[in-house]
């Protein structure tokens, strides 16, 4: 650990500035969407020449630290449902192990790499398309909607039609009441947690981009609560994952410390922006980022299949470029909303 700390001091100012800046962008997305850490940091570290175990382990440790910061902020905003989080953690943990077992089984058949990439591309693309279509249609029932602040607003939140249908159909006891007056069967939550856990373990990712839409569309919790609760869950999964990688020397504090320095500020801005930004302004960017991620993974896979490094690099730059653009859009939308709100207040006062 001491050598890692000395490593941080020994890093060049450019490298530290790069990590801090990158941490700021990832933290912003993480605080706002409750996702977006692992699929950005790990490939970037790999591209910088770090060994795979260090890239994955340090990426996970960074996601853990950022999740702690973002969860604390969402807790302050009353957007973490600990009851839902506890049930989700149990279901997801079992699901992750089943997903990992499936990977080992497919590996023994020699099919793991191809199947995982195809599932990844279709999943990212499918969720991205669904959210983008939802945003472009101007239909505001559900989706990545952040227009709720406090319990009263949360209960007024419009539940997506599909979630209402599930709540009315599956009424197997025990039933639980979640934040925002959502009453749902524990079995629905467990099923959602288990299936998202399977996908998460199968794809080897944190799974926020699967879990968050699942919580919104299948369980029916308000989006701010889905984001806050998802982050709470990542604190546990990221903590355990970091510990496991740390045991084999995969966590490098000279990478994690500067990344966290930037992401702590980004996560604060992103979490606070959830209470300000108009959802329709940002939903389309979120869907676009997932679509870009899907295309990037597809390009990267074609690149590695053809042995073309340029295509793999193009894929990575596409993901990072999309992340920077979406982070910029969040800041821009937040400032625009605040300016227009202030303008209205000033006009009313006059």
Q: Note the residues at the interface with other proteins (CB under 8 A).
A: 1, 4, 61, 64-66, 68-69, 72-73, 97-98, 100-101, 103-105, 239-240, 242-244, 246-247, 251, 253, 256-257, 260-261, 264-265, 268, 272, 275-276, 334-335, 338-339, 341-342, 346
Question: Which is closer to other proteins, CB of 139 or CB of 149?
Answer: 149
DSSP annotation of 274: T
User: What is the smallest separation between the CB atom of 150 and other proteins, expressed in angstroms?
Assistant: 13
Nearest approach in angstroms of CB 347 to other proteins is 13
Is the Cβ–Cβ distance between 249 and 53 less than 8 Å?
yes
- Cβ contacts of 240 within 8 Å, gap of 6 or more: none
Return the SS3 of 176.
strand
- Up-side HSE of residue 75: CA atoms within 13 Å toward CB? 12
Task: Closer to other proteins by CB, 260 or 296: give it.
Answer: 260
3-state SS assignment for residue 183:
strand
At its nearest, how many Å lie between other proteins and the CB of residue 268?
A: 5
Q: Are residues 231 and 74 in contact, defined by beta-carbon separation less than 8 angstroms?
A: yes
Task: Using the minimum distance from each CB to other proteins, give the nearer residue, 61 or 316.
Answer: 61
Q: Shortest approach of other proteins to residue 31 CB, angstroms?
A: 11
In angstroms, give the least distance from the CB of 172 to other proteins: 27
Partners of 18 in beta bridges = none
Query: Which CB atom, from 253 or from 297, has the smaller least distance to other proteins?
Result: 253
**Residue with smaller CB distance to other proteins, 275 or 324:** 275
Nearest to 103 by CA among 241, 199, 206: 199
Residue 174: cis peptide before it, omega within 30 degrees of 0: yes
């Amino acid at each position: 650990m001491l050598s890692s700390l000395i490593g941080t001091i020994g890093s060049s100012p450019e490298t530290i500035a790069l990590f801090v800046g990158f941490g700021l962008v990832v933290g912003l997305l993480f605080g706002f969407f409750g996702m977006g850490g692992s699929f950005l940091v790990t490939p970037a570290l790999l591209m910088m020449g770090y060994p795979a175990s260090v890239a994955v382990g340090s990426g996970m440790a960074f996601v853990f630290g950022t999740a702690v910061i973002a969860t604390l902020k969402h807790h302050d905003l009353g957007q973490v449902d600990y009851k839902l989080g506890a049930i989700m953690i149990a279901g997801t943990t079992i699901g992750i192990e089943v997903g990992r077992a499936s990977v080992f089984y497919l590996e023994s058949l020699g099919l793991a790499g191809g199947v995982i990439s195809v599932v990844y591309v279709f999943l990212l693309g499918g969720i991205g398309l669904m959210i983008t279509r939802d945003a472009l249609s101007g239909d505001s029932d559900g989706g990545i909607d952040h227009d709720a602040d406090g319990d009263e607003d949360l209960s007024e939140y419009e539940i997506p039609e599909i979630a209402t249908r599930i709540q009315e159909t599956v009424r197997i006891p025990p039933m639980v009441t979640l934040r925002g007056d959502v009453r749902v069967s524990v079995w629905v939550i467990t099923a959602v947690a288990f299936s998202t856990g399977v996908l998460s373990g199968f794809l080897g990712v944190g799974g926020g981009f699967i879990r968050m839409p699942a919580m919104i569309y299948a369980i029916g919790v308000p989006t701010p609560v889905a984001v806050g609760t998802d982050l709470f869950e990542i604190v546990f999964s990221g903590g355990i994952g970091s510990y496991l990688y740390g045991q084999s020397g995969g966590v490098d504090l000279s990478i994690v410390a500067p990344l966290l320095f930037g992401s702590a500020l980004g996560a604060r801005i992103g979490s606070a922006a959830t209470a300000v930004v108009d959802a329709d302004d940002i939903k389309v960017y979120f869907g676009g980022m997932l679509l870009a991620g899907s295309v990037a993974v597809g390009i990267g896979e074609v690149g590695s299949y053809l042995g073309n490094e340029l295509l793999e690099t193009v894929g990575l730059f596409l993901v990072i470029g999309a992340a920077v653009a979406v982070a910029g859009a969040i800041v821009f939308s937040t400032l625009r909303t605040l300016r227009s709100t202030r303008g209205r207040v000033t006009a009313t006062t006059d």
